[in-house]
Amino acid sequence: DQQVKQNSPSLSVQEGRISILNCDYTNSMFDYFLWYKKYPAEGPTFLISISSIKDKNEDGRFTVFLNKSAKHLSLHIVPSQPGDSAVYFCAASAGNMLTFGGGTRLMVKP
């Protein structure tokens, strides 16, 4: 039973447009959420995070939104660049460990 789900295995976006990656969770005890980015042959790298006491966190082109009532978070990338093409994982923490979603492969086309 997956507690963190990314229902879109892939997403294709045109360069310059907005990329929206979604993540749903079931455990209401999660209190911290993170997004990681992974290139082939590399480990995941931290991108942005949000605490459950907030509903938005912005860092440059990246914004994470949290809707606690819907148990849903999303990552917005705008404008999207070809270098953003990678697999994006959302992760949730309940104090001790991270639980990861299955990932979404983002392809940004020039």
Partner 1 sequence: ETGVTQTPRHLVMGMTNKKSLKCEQHLGHNAMYWYKQSAKKPLELMFVYNFKEQTENNSVPSRFSPECPNSSHLFLHLHTLQPEDSALYLCASSHDRGGGGEQFFGPGTRLTVL
Q: Give the bridge partners for 58, in sequence order.
A: 63
Does the protein bind partner 1 through residue 103 (CB under 8 A)?
yes
Does the protein bind partner 1 through residue 53 (CB under 8 A)?
no
Q: Distance (Å, rounded) from C-alpha 68 to C-alpha 102?
A: 20
Q: Distance (Å, rounded) from C-alpha 72 to C-alpha 68?
A: 6
Does the protein bind partner 1 through residue 10 (CB under 8 A)?
no
If the CB atoms of residues 62 and 100 are measured against partner 1, the closer one turns out to be 100
Does the protein bind partner 1 through residue 34 (CB under 8 A)?
yes
Q: Distance (Å, rounded) from C-alpha 35 to C-alpha 44?
A: 9
Q: Would you tell me which residues interact with partner 1 (CB under 8 A)?
A: 2, 4, 31-32, 34, 36, 41-46, 49, 51, 89, 93, 95-103
